[in-house]
Amino acid sequence: MKNELIAYPPRIAQPEFLTGKRSIAQQEIAASNSSLPGILILTSYPPRECGIATYSQDLLKALDNKFSNSFSLKVCALEAGTNEYTYPDEVKYVLDTTDAGQYIELANTINRDNSIMFVVIQHEFGFFQEAGEEAFPQFLYTLTKSAVLVFHTVLPKPDAALKEKVSRLAAACDALVVMTKTSQKILKDDYGIPTQKVEVIAHGTHLVPHLDKDALKEKHGLTSRKVLSTFGLLRSGKSIETTLDSLPAIIESNPDALFLVIGKTHPSVVKSEGEKYRDLLEAKVEALSLQSHVKFINRYLPLQDLLEYLQMTDIYLFTSKDRHQAVSGTFSYAMSCGCPIISTPIPHAKEVLRQNTGILVDFQSPQQLADAVNRLMGDEPLRSAFSTNTLQRIAPTSWENSAIAHASLFQKIAGPLPSENGSKYKTTCPFPQSAFPNQKISLEYRMPVLNLAHVLEMTTEVGMIQFSKINQPDLDSGYTLDDNARALVALLMHYEWSGDRADLRLIRTYLNFIEFCQQPTGDFLNYVDSERNFTPQNNETNLSDSNGRAIWALGYLVSKSAILPADILAKAEHVMQRVLPVMDAMHSTRSMAFSIKGLYYFNQEKQLPAVLRLIQLFGDRLLQMYRHESEHNWKWYEDYLTYANAILPEAMLCAWQATGNPVYKETAKASLDFLLSLTFKDGRIKVISNIGWMHKGQEPLPLVKGAEQPIDIAYTVLALERFYDVFKDEACSQKMAVAFNWFLGNNHLRQIISTPCTGGCYDGLEERNVNLNQGAESTLSYLMARMCMENNR
């Protein structure tokens, strides 16, 4: 029989080489109906059990979660021989890698599928060997679509035949992906493949909520045990016996130690030799009398259970004896859970485990392993430091960031177009042989599910705690009026959007905190410790801006009279009435701006002459500042740009909305246009860095990367929403999306700033890393911006 595609009628038996639920031809017809650019991933895939199958499923889920409005994702599952797997719907094709004829057949099918733009091949040498040396290269050279080859193994010092083989594969592809810089260097030095063709995208890791370790140990019946663990599909290359041989020395110093061996035996090992290796390990446990110190968990664990086991691990042990193992998914999972790690020196470990994140020991060296474990077990501060540093090191590798990196690679291959002013960042690549010749790729970040978990975690009966360590609230940092005023605004926005009456408890909590901070004179203190005492910092710091934020929150609350209970409204109005008489004394630029916003909202409901007078007073003061500093190339209120800049033009627009004074409106528009001209470029926002700020006469764009705060993004989004409502300028709506996408990964690091795992937001974007703490200010900034986007949608 020729290996050609035939659309078989229903109920007629299919030839054996068509191994999917439907024939490849039938799949071809279905696939071509997609309206989005298609990415086809060739890979082993669950329910097949192997590391690459799990990796590919995680990658596909991440790409779908981030970019489901940009790409259509499909899978061609790789099988060796006849299998009876029942695949999920995303599997469109199945390739029997032992049948050489199917390779060309599949390539031709892909070429005819007009919806497919990119083919991504997850490569392991063992996948394609049984069909002969030429089948896989012929597949690549037959493809007319852009191909990306992901090397999961890169062998150093190749012989001539291997070098030629890899070089041929590389030449047939548009890009190669490896997971470590070490692998990239090997491809350059040993194979002669140009570095610019090789993209380093680290093995993805799961975002983890970092639950309490003691609570997890209690849940799993391991209270008071010091937990060592390793996991993965069991095979002899993992060298579990190295740890077993080290345990007697470990137990001597740590009699409460318990070693968890998590995972079933690798299916290919079971197929070839049964449970021979596991039986050997269990015999060794008995011979060394380790029964009370070793526990085999011989089953597949759901992801949540696996991550819990890793989070309660005191030390993770990675003892592979494969010196050329380029990367390990299990190693990456352990790092994502903040495990202090002791590892043999595979390339992946040498690259990421530096002096401050873990310990390297020689291959098959039980004594070194025992010494390292005992050292770490006896030094809790060092374990804690390793854990914190490991989380910082692994953060860029989250699956969300991996999806962004892959999408960025597709952009690079397609070739970017210059972005239109204020438009979403777009790249273009006409479909090869496409039914849609004018279609372009438009990379649109998908809005994550809204999650208030971190807000709830950070809120006590007193108010919202100021700081967190990673995602754990730091009660010692106390509370601030600033954060609770922001929290009140954010939860009011959420309540108006969702109608969830559970929000009312939080709204009352934050309002009560503002009332608590009000002094007999009518103004407010800002800093409160964990025991509800005002701290000396109130006497050392200018409190004008925090007072302005409180007025903003109170006025905003009063304006929501249609949806809020009477007692909440009455309390907010009472607090507001007490502060009005002392507001004339405000002269700080931003405190006046925040106050204008609050007074504008309050005036919508109460329309008091005293309130309108204050709006005019502060509007005139800001206008006078603007006229004093404004020049041809500097349309601003001060001779420098610092933080929360967008609040100033927004406040001027509020002043116009309240008074009708056209000069306020003109000034608002001119100053916002000036600010946006500095912060939007190349389809991204880059707010003014807090390293040195920006001064009049400086270069138009600060040279300093990083030190960008979520609060500045949020205020930009809020301002753009108001300007859109007034001017109906679509550019404002487009810039809102660009600015909000900063949280989702459209920033200079191409990393997420908001984290869907907790619902929190990282505290800042630095030059080379993200600040992983999720304090109140950043989390509330994201929530306010998110609520604006929901309104805009």
DSSP labels, 536-595 = GGGGTS--HHHHHHHHHHHHHHHTTTTTS-HHHHHHHHHHHHHHGGGGGG---HHHHHHH
Q: What is the mean pLDDT of residues 576-584?
A: 97
Q: 165-213, pLDDT tens digit by residue?
A: 999 999 999 999 999 999 999 999 999 999 999 999 999 999 998 888 9
pLDDT, position 6: 26
Contact 71/103 with Cβ under 8 angstroms? Answer: no
pLDDT(439) > 60: no
Compute the radius of gyration of the chain from its Cα atoms.
30
Q: What is the mean pLDDT of residues 319-323?
A: 89
pLDDT, position 586: 95
Lowest-confidence region among 89-93, 286-290, 438-442, 577-581: 438-442
pLDDT, position 437: 42
pLDDT, position 671: 98
pLDDT band at 479 (very low <50, low <70, confident <90, very high): very high
654 vs 24 pLDDT, higher one: 654
pLDDT, position 478: 98
pLDDT band at 268 (very low <50, low <70, confident <90, very high): confident
Question: In this structure, what token pair is assigned to residue 523?
Answer: 């103004």
pLDDT band at 330 (very low <50, low <70, confident <90, very high): confident
pLDDT, position 418: 42
How far does the chain reach from its first CA to its final CA, in angstroms?
55
Beta strand pairing call for 680-681 and 684-685: antiparallel
Lowest-confidence region among 134-148, 215-229, 659-673, 688-702: 688-702
CA dist 647 and 462 (Å) reads 28
Q: What is the DSSP letter of 639?
A: S
pLDDT, position 689: 83
Lowest-confidence region among 114-123, 695-704, 729-738: 695-704
For the whole model, what pTM was predicted? 0.88
Q: 497-532, pLDDT tens digit by residue?
A: 999 999 999 999 999 999 999 999 999 999 999 999
Rounded percentage of the chain residues whose pLDDT exceeds 70? 91
Q: Which segments of 580-644 does DSSP mark as H helices, in order?
A: 589-606, 609-629
CA dist 460 and 148 (Å) reads 50
Q: Where are the beta strands (DSSP E) in 90-160?
A: 91-96, 116-123, 146-151
pLDDT(405) > 60: yes
pLDDT, position 725: 96
pLDDT(5) > 50: no
CA dist 653 and 639 (Å) reads 21
pLDDT band at 440 (very low <50, low <70, confident <90, very high): low
Cis check for the bond before 430: say yes or no (omega within 30 of 0).
no
Question: In 10 A of CB 160, how many CB atoms?
Answer: 7
pLDDT band at 705 (very low <50, low <70, confident <90, very high): low
pLDDT, position 699: 65
Q: 287-309, pLDDT tens digit by residue?
A: 999 999 999 999 888 888 999 99
Q: What is the mean pLDDT of residues 606-615?
A: 95
pLDDT, position 81: 81
pLDDT(98) > 70: yes
pLDDT(769) > 60: yes
pLDDT(544) > 90: yes
Q: 48-64, pLDDT tens digit by residue?
A: 988 899 999 999 999 99
CA dist 768 and 770 (Å) reads 7
pLDDT(16) > 70: no
Residues in a beta bridge with 260: 229, 295
Contact 257/376 with Cβ under 8 angstroms? Answer: no
Q: Which segments of 347-478 does DSSP mark as H helices, in order?
A: 347-352, 366-377, 380-394, 399-414, 453-458
Question: In this structure, what token pair is assigned to residue 110?
Answer: 């892909």
Lowest-confidence region among 77-86, 216-225, 287-296: 77-86
Contact 465/475 with Cβ under 8 angstroms? Answer: yes
Average pLDDT along the chain = 89
pLDDT(354) > 80: no
pLDDT, position 17: 31
Contact 555/601 with Cβ under 8 angstroms? Answer: yes
For residue 331, what are the contacts with CB-CB under 8 A and spacing of at least 6?
318, 341, 343, 348, 349
